[in-house]
Structure 1
Amino acid sequence: MELLVLRDGVHRLPTAEYADALRERLPEHTVVHARTPAEEREHVRTADVVTGPRIDASLLEDAEEIRLFACAYAGYGHLPVDELAEADIAVTSATGVHAPNAAEHAVGAILSFSRRFHEAARADRWQPVDPGELAGSTVTVVGLGAIGTAIAERLEPFDVTTLGVRRHPSEGGPTDEVFGPEEFHDALARTDFLVLCCPLTEDTRGLVGDREFGTLPPEAVLVNVARGAVVDTDALVRTLRRGRLGGAVLDVTDPEPLPDDHPIWGLDDVVVTPHTAGATPEYYERLADIVADNVRRLADDRPLRNLAVPAESD
């Protein structure tokens, strides 16, 4: 089976290293790394599997053997999904590669605010800061996919109560309790730390706004490692200015990046990180594990892992 690794002409991601990682895992298959547009067009004619951050729809015109496009990102909304489906090409995602590091980011944010590191960092030399204690707190995790599950698992040793919120609560989860969307406010009312790690959809856009901030206890802390638009930014600013929130850690914002004159920069109880929760030196190693597994599954005609868009013939 031939696997083609596309170049990334936008963000200059290390696709050569990614190709090497795939070769280590798939010695029985041919892995080709395209370094130029001409090489992409040449090798796409014979490739069974194509992988990379994105694929141009025009490239599919030369595709004859492709059965799978393995996207190097967890999200796939940027892909020409209709054209891929029309060409009978399945699409898989990189869901799960961010889980360990994004979970560490979220738990680190919770611990930082629990112990008030952000206040100590601003204090004048030996000025006392009274820290809190995480044990006994309630942490609500919105979204129980790979990242939400990893967060809940890492919180287990801290003697906290975990509440999970997901679209289909009957599916259960790793948290102490699981709530559906219609019970969201019941969970919010009990929350000390609200962690957002859900995908951005029409249902989750603006999920946390004035009403939700009104339900949260005034000392609760928001941690957003999802997407900026899951939170109503204006409502967040209003709530913080009124002293109705204990603080926020935002790895994502709306807009992103925030303009230099945005009011969030002037709020003491907000920590902003530049969309780095998903960054990890292990990204392409974990991605190669997923893609190599799917190449073997494809060869054996077994169900694919992280299937985002099935082939029409499936």
Structure 2
Amino acid sequence: MPKIVAIHDLTSEQQQKIKDIAPDYELLVTKAKELTPSIVQDAEIMIGWSRFVQEDVLSADSKLKWIQAWSAGVDKMPLKELEEKGIQLTNASGVHSVPITEHIFAMILAFTRNLHLAIRQQSNSKWDTSGTFTELAGKTIVIVGVGQIGSHTARVAQAFGMRTVGVRHSGKSDPYVEAMYKVDQLDEALAKGDYIVNILPLTDDTRGLFNEARFSAMKDSAFFVNVGRGQTVVTNDMIQALQAGSLAGAGLDVFEEEPLPSDHPLWSMDNVIMTPHMAGDTDRYGERAVDIFLENLQNYVSGKPLSRNVIDYSKSY
């Protein structure tokens, strides 16, 4: 009997849904560290990914045909080797649209209303009403990397009365983005933004994309929010822009080095808000990830192509 191995917790209801769709498969739910080489090599489908299973997945004896990643990002997976073995890969893109969008606006609104400074003053029992206060209405948000998260972010931005500008590789339009640019027009798009939101995946093309030239293209009054990948930003260039006043502030959930060292200069900068790579966290994560898997599983057992979130190995996303 072919096997489905899940290395993330599944509720009894979720397990039953998998069994109902694939009654001819054996389902094993366990922890990655508890898997034996024989179990991994015998699996046809795997839900989740861990470095602990990599060697066995890539072995000559592996029967694996499909991996459902538990995250949207797949840059830490051995993509070249998986492609060579003909293993299909799907990710959890779409799971994060609501929590990451809300996280983005938590940071943007904090800057707009000076909440980041008020919280620091509260810790010091200090009453201080100084600062510049503004509104989102009429401001322009530039979303770099318009996928499902970016589209949802644009929709929420429009509800605040903001103008929405997007950047995506294809340049394809989006119903919630008023002006869409291609990546080779990035600097032109950045120049329009009061708030720049980076949601790009990490690829050879995006690594270090936000460097001195990109920050120079932004308005001095612009705020930069990064919920994509830390390695898409040259951190020292961003710090220099923040210190020089050529960038008003930065809301950062991801970093080149994680966890961020305790002596890093970003910790002490008043115009920086930081969270520890938690923008996508939500108590509804597993529910949404399993829904994606179930839809693909229905196609898989029917002999149809996987329909959602199939990774294009040539693009690394």
Shared topology, TM-score over 0.5? yes
From the superposition, tell whether residues 19 and 52 of structure 1 become closer, same or farther in structure 2 (CA, over 3 Å).
farther
Structure 2 distance, partners of 1:80, 1:267, is: 36
Scaled by the length of structure 1, the TM-score of the pair is 0.86
* Partner-residue secondary structure (3-state), 1:265: helix
RMSD: 2.4
Instruction: Confirm whether residue 26 of structure 1 aligns to residue 22 of structure 2.
Output: no
Aligned residues between the structures: 300
Alignment of 1:165-314 (within 5 A): 165-169=167-171, 171-173=172-174, 174-304=176-306, 305-308=308-311
Shift of 1:262: 1.7
Shift of 1:39: 5.4
Structure 1 distance, partners of 2:54, 2:104, is: 34
From the superposition, tell whether residues 119 and 83 of structure 1 become closer, same or farther in structure 2 (CA, over 3 Å).
closer
Structure 2 distance, partners of 1:73, 1:255, is: 19
Instruction: Confirm whether residue 107 of structure 1 aligns to residue 105 of structure 2.
Output: yes
Shift of 1:107: 1.4
1:128 corresponds in structure 2 to 129
From the superposition, tell whether residues 22 and 83 of structure 1 become closer, same or farther in structure 2 (CA, over 3 Å).
farther
Instruction: Specify every segment of 5 or more residues in structure 2 that has no aligned partner in the other structure, as ranges.
Output: none
Shift of 1:62: 3.9
Q: Greater CA deviation, 259-268 or 86-95?
A: 86-95
Give the ranges of 4+ consecutive aligned residues of structure 1 lying more than 6 Å apart after TM superposition: none
* Partner-residue secondary structure (3-state), 2:311: strand
Structure 2 distance, partners of 1:77, 1:210, is: 24
Higher relative contact order (CA 8 A, sep 6+): 1
Shift of 1:215: 2.1
Alignment of 1:23-62 (within 5 A): 23-28=15-20, 29=22, 30-35=26-31, 40-44=36-40, 47-54=43-50, 55-59=53-57, 60-62=59-61
Structure 2 distance, partners of 1:37, 1:122, is: 41
Structure 2 distance, partners of 1:287, 1:87, is: 24
User: Would the aligned equivalents of 1:57 and 1:80 in 2 still touch at CA under 8 Å?
Assistant: no
Shift of 1:35: 4.7
Structure 1 distance, partners of 2:272, 2:293, is: 38
Shift of 1:41: 4.1
Structure 1 distance, partners of 2:210, 2:35, is: 46
Shift of 1:19: 6.0
From the superposition, tell whether residues 46 and 257 of structure 1 become closer, same or farther in structure 2 (CA, over 3 Å).
closer
Q: Greater CA deviation, 23-32 or 288-297?
A: 23-32
Instruction: Specify every segment of 5 or more residues in structure 1 that has no aligned partner in the other structure, as ranges.
Output: 8-14
Q: Greater CA deviation, 222-231 or 40-49?
A: 40-49
Structure 2 distance, partners of 1:61, 1:272, is: 44
1:12 corresponds in structure 2 to none
Identity of aligned residues (%): 33
* Partner-residue secondary structure (3-state), 1:139: strand
Structure 1 distance, partners of 2:34, 2:162, is: 55
Shift of 1:36: 7.2
